[in-house]
Amino acid sequence: MINKTNVKNFFKTYGYWVAFALSIALLITIVTIAIVNKPAPIEEDFTPVVNEEIKFADPLADMALMKDYSNTKLQYSNTLKLWQAHKAVDLAAEEGTDVIAVLDGTVTEVTYNYLMGNIVKLDVGGGITVVYASLASDIPVKQGDAVTKGSVIGKVGKTAKSEASDGAHLHLEVLLNGESVDPNLYLDLSAK
C-alpha cells in the first residue's frame, strides 16, 4: 500500500502539519533544555553572625541614603552602564563634608583605587573593618593610626570613577571577617 505516490500525496496534504508538529517538538525541546540548564540564582549562603551590641556612630553629620546595600539584587550603575550588586551604602553629602570614624579603631590601609577612589580602611574590632571610599584626596590619617569614635578620618569626595555620575558621596562598606555585610546592621539610616 505504501508506494511513492502515496507518500507524495500524504505530504502534499499534510506537509504543513508535519512541519508544524516538528517545529512545536523542536520548540519544546529547546525550552526544556533551557529550563534544565538554567543557572541557579546567585545567592550567598553566608549568614553573618552580627553582634547586636555594636552600633556605629553616623559616618557623616548630615547624610542622605543615595544607594542602598544589595547582596543579590542588582542595581543599575549610571556610570558603568551595567547592573551590579552594590555591597555598600552610598551616602550623599556635599563635597568636603567631614567623614567620621564610626567606632574607635585602627587605620589598616589608606589607598587609592581607580574604581573606588581614595579609600580608608578602619579596623574597629570584633572582626569588623569599615571601608570608606570615594574620599577626597586630603586624608588626615595614615596606616597604623589609632582613631577614636567621632574623629575625622577624611572628607567626602567624588574620586570613585565607578560611581562618578552619582556625584559627591561616601561609599561605605562593612566587612565582617572579610565578607561584605549590610552596613544597615550597624547603622541607623532609617531616620535619614
Q: Which residues form the interface with Zn ion (CB under 5 A)? A: 88, 90, 171
Would you say 2 or 82 has its CB closer to Zn ion?
82
Distance from C-alpha of 158 to C-alpha of 172, rounded to nearest angstrom: 13
**Structural contact between residues 112 and 120, judged by C-beta atoms closer than 8 angstroms:** no
Amino acid code (one letter) for 53: E
Of all residues in this chain, which one has the CB nearest to Zn ion in the complex? 171
CB of 134 to Zn ion, least distance (A): 7
Residue 89 bridge partners (DSSP): 172
Is residue 158 helix, strand or coil? Answer: coil
Would you say 88 or 147 has its CB closer to Zn ion?
88
Would you say 7 or 64 has its CB closer to Zn ion?
64
CB of 171 to Zn ion, least distance (A): 4
In sequence order, the 6+-apart residues with CB closer than 8 A to the CB of 187 are 56, 58, 59, 89, 102
CA atoms within a 13 Å half-sphere pointing along the CA-CB vector of 139: 23
Would you say 127 or 167 has its CB closer to Zn ion?
167
Would you say 100 or 171 has its CB closer to Zn ion?
171
CB of 123 to Zn ion, least distance (A): 21
CB of 116 to Zn ion, least distance (A): 8
Q: 78: closest CA among 167, 160, 171, 165?
A: 165
CB of 18 to Zn ion, least distance (A): 57
